[in-house]
């Protein structure tokens, strides 16, 4: 499998040899499921968000970094519209469906829905572009799982990358070649199929990442649908360390949608003073003291309806659902400022300032957005008190998952030992701690022809 090494080196650097082993095993599993012939290998990386949490769906700012942990899809085009997917991880049994504009979903939470969402969006996209069927499906093998895959449910975007990698493959086999931004937008809309009203951050970083850089993304498109973004180099002399609490909350989707609803309620209420606004981003330059009087501490969905405010399109709300509108909006408003300050600090090499902003972002996520949990608090406190740490915060949607810490190179071993010890002592759990080796964005890695002997 020596042909694998050169393309893998451009993606994984020094890890290319161990990755080649992983790719070879995946190819052999593909051959035993689907037989000899051509195979295209696509990959999409997970991400860690440095700062800018729950700002994307408010058209705000984010600053994610792609991981070297990724999901692979080995794919062989079919001549019909069937998609057959198997998974290297045995707990995910095979799925099959036909591509079309209205694909019936698998049960909620099923892994197949991430692929179905991508396929349905593609069929609709091609229909809009007046490209008539026949659509082409594929036979595919998904490769996630440890140690190289994106840890699942950990706030590192494992589900979004599944949509991205399937969309990439289906677009490829159907001859649709959008640019990265178009594909990223497409993938984020495709993911609405699974019932989360998410933003665009995960798909943008998965597709547009650059090694050694964070992506500063302004999630507000201009009138031509373009996005302002900048690849900002990561600080020299520091590691981004990720510590996974191992906590997986069962209802992240429900909590997430309620946060989206609270922000939308904020926008609707602020329209009394700023009639033209569509997102919280539109009041970013207005002093907070001028916004606050319009934002109640708490209001129910039913009370909003009485005032003529309907939160359409957000699943799972009932008239009794309580929304803490003021605190949620305050988080978004302050977080956008922190992201801008963090980018300025990165550009200027001011690591201490960046670290302070991470700590402040964590406090806001905990107190105003209420997306932390006891285990994440233990991890963040342990990280923040360790030597050589500029700052630390929870990362991703919240309610479990991971923290990220900015740690001086020479302090990494002591950091790992301290955080693991304290977390173990206080929760009885062992955290998985690993360094983020930032990698490049998603794409086609290589096309291979498997012979009968492979
Ligand atoms: C999830 C969503 C993102 C973003 C984050 C929170 O990862 O997929 O769009 O909203 O949560 O910052």
User: How would DSSP label each residue in 32-80?
Assistant: HHH-SEEEEEEEEEEEEESS-TT-GGGT-EE-EEEEEEEEEEEEEE-SS
Asked if residue 432 belongs to a domain, the reply is yes
Are 23 and 131 members of one domain? yes
Domain count, the chain: 2
Ligand 1, atom 8, residue with closest C-alpha: 198
Q: Are residues 229 and 260 in the same domain?
A: no
Nearest-atom index, ligand 1, CA of 201 = 9
Say yes or no: 176 and 281 in one domain: no
Give the other-Cβ count within 10 Å of 385's Cβ: 12
Question: 242 lies in a domain?
Answer: no
The residues that bridge with 42 in the sheet, in sequence order, are 73, 444
Q: What is residue 3's predicted lDDT score, i.e. its pLDDT?
A: 86
Q: Find the largest Cα–Cα distance for the chain.
A: 72
In a domain, 200, yes or no: yes
199 C-beta closer than 6 A to ligand 1: yes
Whether ligand 1 lies within 6 angstroms of the CB of 46 is answered as: no
pLDDT tens digits for range 258-304: 999 999 999 999 999 999 999 999 999 999 999 999 999 999 999 99
Ligand 1 pocket: which of 371, 396, 401 to mutate (most atoms <8 Å of CB)?
396
d(CA 380, CA 401): 12
Domain of 55 in residue numbering reads as 2-234+438-450
- The reply to whether 19 and 128 lie within a common domain is yes
Q: Distance between CA atoms of 132 and 126, rounded to whole angstroms? A: 7
CA of 336 to the centre of ligand 1 (A): 14
Cα 33 to chain centroid, rounded: 30
**Distance from CA of residue 301 to its chain's centroid?**
28
409 is catalytic: no
pLDDT of residue 129: 81
- Best residue among 49, 56, 162 to mutate for probing ligand 1, ranked by most atoms within 8 Å of CB: 56
Contact (Cβ atoms closer than 8 angstroms) between residue 406 and residue 358? yes
Q: Report the distance separating Cα 62 and Cα 136, nearest Å.
A: 35
Give the integer Cα–Cα distance in Å for 217 and 205: 9
pLDDT tens string, the chain, 454 residues long: the values are 678 999 999 999 999 999 999 999 999 999 999 999 999 999 999 999 999 999 999 999 999 999 999 999 999 999 999 999 999 999 999 999 999 999 999 998 899 999 999 999 999 998 888 777 689 999 999 999 999 999 998 999 999 999 999 999 999 999 999 999 999 999 999 998 988 778 999 999 999 999 999 999 999 999 999 999 999 999 999 999 999 999 998 778 889 999 999 999 999 999 999 999 999 999 999 999 999 999 999 999 999 999 999 998 888 899 999 999 999 999 999 999 999 999 999 999 999 999 999 999 999 999 999 999 999 999 999 999 999 999 999 999 999 999 999 999 999 999 999 999 999 999 999 999 999 988 899 999 999 999 876 6
CA atoms of 164 and 157, how far apart (whole Å):
11
Q: Is the pTM of this model over 0.75?
A: yes
Q: Are residues 31 and 92 in the same domain?
A: yes
- Residue 240 within any structural domain of the chain: no
Beta strands, E only, 144-294: 213-218, 229-233, 238-248
pLDDT given at position 133:
66
Question: Which residue's alpha carbon is nearest to atom 2 within ligand 1?
Answer: 198
For residue 439, the model assigns a pLDDT of 86
> Which pairing describes strands 432-435 and 238-248: parallel, antiparallel, or unpaired?
antiparallel
* Whether the CB of 64 sits within 6 Å of ligand 1: no
Q: Look at residue 59 and tell me if it is in a domain.
A: yes
What is the chain's alpha carbon radius of gyration, rounded to the nearest angstrom?
Answer: 22
Q: What separation in angstroms does the CA of 399 have from each of 28, 323, 351?
A: 38, 17, 27
The whole-number pLDDT of residue 2 equals: 79
Same domain, 207 and 65: yes
Render the burial of 56-90: b for 16+ CB within 10 Å, e for the rest.
bbbbbbbbbbbbbbbbbbbbbebeebebbbbbbee
Among residues 70, 202, 218, 368, which one is catalytic? 202
First to last CA, the chain: 10
Task: Identify whether 243 is part of a domain.
Answer: no
Closest CA to 446 of 147, 15, 19, 18: 19
Domain assignment present for 407: yes
| 297 and 385 fall within a common domain | yes
Distance CA 345, CA 402 (A): 23
Answer whether 53 contacts ligand 1 (Cβ < 6 A). Answer: yes
Q: Is residue 271, in this structure, part of any structural domain at all?
A: yes
Residues 80 and 131 in one domain: yes
> Do residues 442 and 414 share a domain?
no
Strand partners, 435: 241
**What ranges in 284-392 are assigned the alpha helix state H?**
288-291, 301-306, 325-347, 351-367, 374-385
Q: Verify that 155 and 296 share a domain, yes or no.
A: no
- Cα–Cα distances in angstroms (integers) from residue 336 to residues 58, 103, 218, 297, in the given order: 10, 37, 10, 21
Residues 211 and 276 in one domain: no
CATH number at residue 117: 3.30.230.10
Residue nearest atom 9 of ligand 1, based on CA coordinates: 199
Ligand 1 pocket check: which of 54, 192, 328, 399 to mutate, most ligand atoms within 8 Å of Cβ?
A: 54
Ramachandran category for residue 265: left, alpha or beta (phi over 0 → left; psi -120 to 50 → alpha): alpha
Cis check: omega of the bond before 147, within 30 degrees of 0:
yes
For residues 132 and 6, membership in a common domain is answered with yes
Task: Give the domain CATH number at 286.
Answer: 3.30.70.890
């Amino acid at each position: 499998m020596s042909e694998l090494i050169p393309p893998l080196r451009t993606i994984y650097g020094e890890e290319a040899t161990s990755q080649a082993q992983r790719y070879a095993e995946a190819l052999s599993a593909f051959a035993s499921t689907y037989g000899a012939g051509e195979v295209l290998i696509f990959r999409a990386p997970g991400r860690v968000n440095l700062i800018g949490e729950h700002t994307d769906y408010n058209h705000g700012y984010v600053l994610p970094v792609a991981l070297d942990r990724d999901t692979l899809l080995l794919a062989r085009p079919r001549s019909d519209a069937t998609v057959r997917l198997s998974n290297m991880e045995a707990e995910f049994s095979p799925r099959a469906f036909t591509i079309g504009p209205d694909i019936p979903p698998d049960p909620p939470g099923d892994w197949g829905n991430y692929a179905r969402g991508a396929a349905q969006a593609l069929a609709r996209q091609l229909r809009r572009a007046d490209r008539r069927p026949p659509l082409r499906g594929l036979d595919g093998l998904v490769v996630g799982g440890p140690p190289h895959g994106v840890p699942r449910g950990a706030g590192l975007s494992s589900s979004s990358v599944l949509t991205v990698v399937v969309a990439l493959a289906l677009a490829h086999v159907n001859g649709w070649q959008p640019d990265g931004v178009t594909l990223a937008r497409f993938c984020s809309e495709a993911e609405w199929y699974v019932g989360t009203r998410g933003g665009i951050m995960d798909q943008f970083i998965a597709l547009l990442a650059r090694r050694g850089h964070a992506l500063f993304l302004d999630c507000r498109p201009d009138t031509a649908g373009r996005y302002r973004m900048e690849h900002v180099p990561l600080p020299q002399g520091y590691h981004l360390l990720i510590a996974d609490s191992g906590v997986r909350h069962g209802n992240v989707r429900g909590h997430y949608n309620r946060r989206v609803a609270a922000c939308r309620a904020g926008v609707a209420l602020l329209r009394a003073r700023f009639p033209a606004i569509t997102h919280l981003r539109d009041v970013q330059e207005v002093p907070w003291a001028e916004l606050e009087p319009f934002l109640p501490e708490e209001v129910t969905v039913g009370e909003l309806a009485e005032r003529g405010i309907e939160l359409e399109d957000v699943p799972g709300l009932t008239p009794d659902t309580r929304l803490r509108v003021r605190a949620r909006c305050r988080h978004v408003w302050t977080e956008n400022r922190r992201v801008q300050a963090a980018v300025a600090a990165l550009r200027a090499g001011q690591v201490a300032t960046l670290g302070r902003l991470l700590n402040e972002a964590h406090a806001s996520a905990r107190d105003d957005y209420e997306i932390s949990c006891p285990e994440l608090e233990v991890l963040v406190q342990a990280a923040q008190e360790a030597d050589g740490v500029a700052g630390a915060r929870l990362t991703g949607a919240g309610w479990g998952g991971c923290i990220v810490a900015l740690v001086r190179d020479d302090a990494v071993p002591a950091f790992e030992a301290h955080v693991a010890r304290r977390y173990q002592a206080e929760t009885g759990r062992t955290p998985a701690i690993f360094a983020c080796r930032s990698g490049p964005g998603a794409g086609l890695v290589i096309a291979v022809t498997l012979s009968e002997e492979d």
